[in-house]
Structure 1
Amino acid sequence: MASIAIEEKLAQPALADKSMMTKVVVSSFIGNTIEFYDFLVYGLAAALVFGKVFFPNSTPLAAILASFATFGVGFVARPLGGIFFGHLGDTVGRKKTLVITLVGMGTATSLIGLLPTYDQIGVLAPVLLVILRFLQGFAVGGEWGGAMLIVVENAPANRRGFFSAWPQTGGFSGQLLATGAFTLVGFLPDDQLLSWGWRLPFLASAILVAFGLYLRSKLDETAVFKQTQAQAKSQEPHPAPFVEVFSKSWRSLLLIMLLRFAESVPFFLVTVFAVSYATGQLGVPKQTLLNVIMVTCLIAFPAHGFFGALSDKVGRRPIYIFGALFAAASAFPFFYLLQTGNMLLIALGYVLLINVAHNSINAVQPSFFTELFGARVRYSGASIGHQFGAIVAGGATPFVAKSLSAADGNGWTYVAAYVVVGALVSALAAYFGPETSKRILTETR
């Protein structure tokens, strides 16, 4: 018992340092905000602008599909970034790696805002767009795993779910900022929006990056990483972290990929596809959707805190199963409410599918996913698993949803069924997965 207590103390060095814990949480929150701001600004631009700016000679449907395809390119790059930056994070350090990913995300996003259009340089414009989208996704691939595990490795053992849930709300603060940015430029006349207005949200990313870099410069390396590095000097050499993850922890990687369906499919459905579908097919005013999304984002903050704290008491699996089943049950009601065109009813649909179903899942992912791996390969394991899941469950969602809608005569039944199937897959994965809330983070297994 004494040895376990000593090991747990080493694993949780920040218990008495509330100031450092605050810095860690805020820093990770800002990093996650930037990650999602960059990606969601791109998603909104793909839905509302890029078809006309970069694919003007295509039919409307082909232009939308091409825009969403470039959205998916970023997700293809994510696991490659997860492998590369996961290796750096497990060998060089969490803090240094997170500085690199932050600069990479911000640089790629800002350069997208400076791209010439198709009318200016022809086919080279969408080619450059795809390249920058790839680089953006590559940097993002190493951001989430590091930002989340640096919180988990510093948090008290009995509050890892609660503390790591707050940085996860960066997805919603990023959504608020991205939606707010497009709301502001949306007041511009169409010719100004298509010529220069759409660029402003991308260029604004540089401001967020500067703030994030300042915060991360104040952080210390985690004691878990330092202890793992010290132990490695007295042990036999190990394979590269990503090799060890694929060879010994592939079940955990597969589990994360399956778990992500219930979280990623609903999120990107309502933030990307639903905006395009509701405004294009249902005639819902664009501003109505943007207002509803912003309200949903505000509710997400207390929801994450609640579900994260609850997972510390009852475990990660019960919360995840609840959220996945609720997502399955909410898919069809969401579209019924969406097609009413009534702002209050649309907001109700978003609250059910996002604030209850998605938020309960999203809140426990940082603790659940990082706790699945040993200290020596935690950055690699969490990053690779999360980003491979992003390809399968997230990056393809707008494209798949648009294709399913077209196959259904521009309807939504097939799309709702897609959400149900994905959510049930995640519920089963969580049911058969391990409970991780009591694990000691210094274990290297």
Structure 2
Amino acid sequence: MTTRTDSPLADADGAVVEPEQLRRATLASSVGSALEYYDFYIYGLASALIFGPLFFKPLGDEGALIASFATYGVGFAARPFGGIVFGYIGDRYGRKMVLILTIGLMGAASFAIGLLPTFEQAGMLGAVLLVVLRIVQGLGAGAEQAGATTLISEVAPPRRRGFFASLPFVGIQLGTLLGAGTFALIATADKDVLEGWLWRVPFLASVILIAIAVFIRLRLKETPVFQELEKHKNVVKNPVGQLWKHSKKNVLVGIGLRMGENGNSSIYSALLVAFLAAPAGVFPGDKFIGPVGLLIAAGFAAVMVVTFGALSDRFGRVPVYRYGALFQAVIAFPAFYLVTLGNVTLVWVVMVVGIALGVQSMLGPQCPLLPELFGSQYRFTGVAMSRELSAVLAGGLVPLVGAALLAATGYSWLVLALYSLVLALISFVSTFFTPETKGRDLVSIEDAS
């Protein structure tokens, strides 16, 4: 007698889990995360390394870098608006629809960036169009990760939710590997070739990921939690209003938790890369060392994000998160001091430790924690707002403010260290206001408290 692999299974706590739905949800979320972070890294690296001379050449080296990072920050500024719009759709009409819309929006914008005219070809028109497309990217990204996190958390078995909810975030590392790997390769090319046409290739190549992601997501089913809401007529007409009425505290908690994780991710992946390659940096003009370091770190991070997610199933979300934030704070000064010694191996070790251990020790438990904080009626909106408001404050402003501070201080490493420390401490303190949510019933319309 054979056993059907797509038949419902009961988790240890009695929750019914459909293996086929769980597999599809994991794959769909992972591919979306890969595309988002592929876009994130190729745009971040391009901002750090080549967008300045391509689109903002008249501003000089430092001015062009700051302007380039400003366009990077504009995308983050757009994300809360995308979170509100698509969070509303996700809580009102279902999770699946949003995941198809956001992936198409992000991918189309990335592809179009690869077609833009540079300053030499069209003056400031290219810069204006770059800002517009970055805003479109931000609108789509504003709900992509929230959708992936909500989807997989509502499908996964409660006792192993940390493990399964962190699996799609391996896609983040895949996107990082693809993005950083692509830039590490093209950075070896002749400068004229790189700035002439080769920089376009990573953006145009995103169309491949778009096609795969849309195909997979079209085959998804709606989550059991949203089906229950529809069945009992508990879908609310105004999830945004309900969120602000009942859950302001948990949104603030989510924002605080994200500061150390998202902010340090931007510090290590964008600001540190710029610090290394700048004319006054550790390796002036080198466009290879930073991307290779990210490539190595992403390989370790792919394993560690799932490890920390699984640890949160055993020890709880809050303890794992708290010690992760504390670790990130403790290593801030020694890590960035070591970078200044000019040893390439030490630079790569710092990037691995900061990203694979520091950032992932917070991201792993965060994957299930944010969805568990909110009631089912406005969960998508709650996760999106927590993620994206913090993304503006941490991820978006870090490269822009950091680049300005580096220029003002003659590229002092203390800027990186202090920034990293402060953001990590904000998350550390936030854990003391965070309820433990491990194993929570996500069908509940009540918030965690």
Deviation at 1:334, TM superposition (A): 1.5
Q: RMSD over aligned Cα, in angstroms?
A: 1.7
Q: In the alignment, what sits opposite 1:51?
A: 52
Could you tell me how far apart the structure 1 residues matched to 2:368 and 2:122 are? 46
Gaps of 5+ in 2: 1-9
Q: In the alignment, what sits opposite 2:369?
A: 368
Task: Confirm or deny: 8 A CA contact 2:99 2:148 kept in the other structure.
Answer: yes
Deviation at 1:239, TM superposition (A): 5.0
Q: In the alignment, what sits opposite 1:80?
A: 81
Q: In the alignment, what sits opposite 2:398?
A: 397
Task: Confirm or deny: 8 A CA contact 1:296 1:355 kept in the other structure.
Answer: yes
One of 267, 270, 279 as aligned partner of 1:269: 267
Q: State the SS of the aligned residue for 1:260.
A: helix
Could you tell me how far apart the structure 2 residues matched to 1:210 and 1:350 are? 32
Q: CA deviation digits over 1:241-291, x for unaligned, max 9?
A: 111112211111111111111101211111111111112211164322222
Deviation at 1:26, TM superposition (A): 1.4
Q: State the SS of the aligned residue for 1:115.
A: coil
Q: In the alignment, what sits opposite 2:283?
A: 283
Could you tell me how far apart the structure 2 residues matched to 1:193 and 1:26 are? 34
Q: CA deviation digits over 1:346-404, x for unaligned, max 9?
A: 22212322211111101111200011111111111101110001001110011111122
Task: Confirm or deny: 8 A CA contact 2:92 2:237 kept in the other structure.
Answer: no
Q: In the alignment, what sits opposite 2:298?
A: 297
Task: Confirm or deny: 8 A CA contact 1:55 1:66 kept in the other structure.
Answer: yes
User: Which amino acid letter does the alignment assign opposite residue 264 of structure 1?
Assistant: N
Could you tell me how far apart the structure 2 residues matched to 1:130 and 1:341 are? 35
Provide closer, same or farther for how the CA distance between residues 409 and 186 of structure 1 changes in structure 2, counting only shifts above 3 A.
Answer: closer
The number of equivalent residue pairs is 433
Question: How much identity, in percent, do the aligned residues show?
Answer: 38
Provide closer, same or farther for how the CA distance between residues 415 and 186 of structure 1 changes in structure 2, counting only shifts above 3 A.
Answer: closer
Could you tell me how far apart the structure 1 residues matched to 2:45 and 2:384 are? 25
Q: In the alignment, what sits opposite 1:345?
A: 346
Deviation at 1:405, TM superposition (A): 1.7
Bigger mean CA offset, 142-151 vs 64-73: 142-151
Deviation at 1:406, TM superposition (A): 2.3
Where does structure 1 differ by over 4 angstroms across 4 or more consecutive aligned residues?
A: 11-14
Superposition pairs for residues 27-426 of structure 1, below 5 Å?
27-232=28-233, 238-280=236-278, 281-283=281-283, 285-426=286-427
Deviation at 1:427, TM superposition (A): 0.5
Bigger mean CA offset, 140-149 vs 183-192: 183-192
Task: Confirm or deny: 8 A CA contact 1:14 1:20 kept in the other structure.
Answer: no
Task: Confirm or deny: 8 A CA contact 2:92 2:236 kept in the other structure.
Answer: no
Could you tell me how far apart the structure 2 residues matched to 1:357 and 1:95 are? 32
Q: State the SS of the aligned residue for 1:309.
A: helix
User: Which amino acid letter does the alignment assign opposite residue 427 of structure 1?
Assistant: F
Gaps of 5+ in 1: 1-7
Deviation at 1:12, TM superposition (A): 8.4
Q: CA deviation digits over 1:10-54, x for unaligned, max 9?
A: x98652x32321221111011011011112111111111111111
Provide closer, same or farther for how the CA distance between residues 251 and 12 of structure 1 changes in structure 2, counting only shifts above 3 A.
Answer: farther
Could you tell me how far apart the structure 1 residues matched to 2:40 and 2:198 are? 18
Could you tell me how far apart the structure 2 residues matched to 1:335 and 1:25 are? 36
Q: State the SS of the aligned residue for 1:441.
A: coil
Could you tell me how far apart the structure 2 residues matched to 1:12 and 1:329 are? 41
Bigger mean CA offset, 195-204 vs 113-122: 113-122
Task: Confirm or deny: 8 A CA contact 1:23 1:219 kept in the other structure.
Answer: yes
Could you tell me how far apart the structure 1 residues matched to 2:396 and 2:48 are? 14
Q: State the SS of the aligned residue for 1:282.
A: coil
Deviation at 1:238, TM superposition (A): 4.1
Could you tell me how far apart the structure 2 residues matched to 1:103 and 1:13 are? 33
Could you tell me how far apart the structure 1 residues matched to 2:339 and 2:14 are? 46
Task: Confirm or deny: 8 A CA contact 1:13 1:223 kept in the other structure.
Answer: no
Task: Confirm or deny: 8 A CA contact 2:99 2:147 kept in the other structure.
Answer: yes
If the length of structure 2 is used for normalisation, what is the TM-score? 0.93
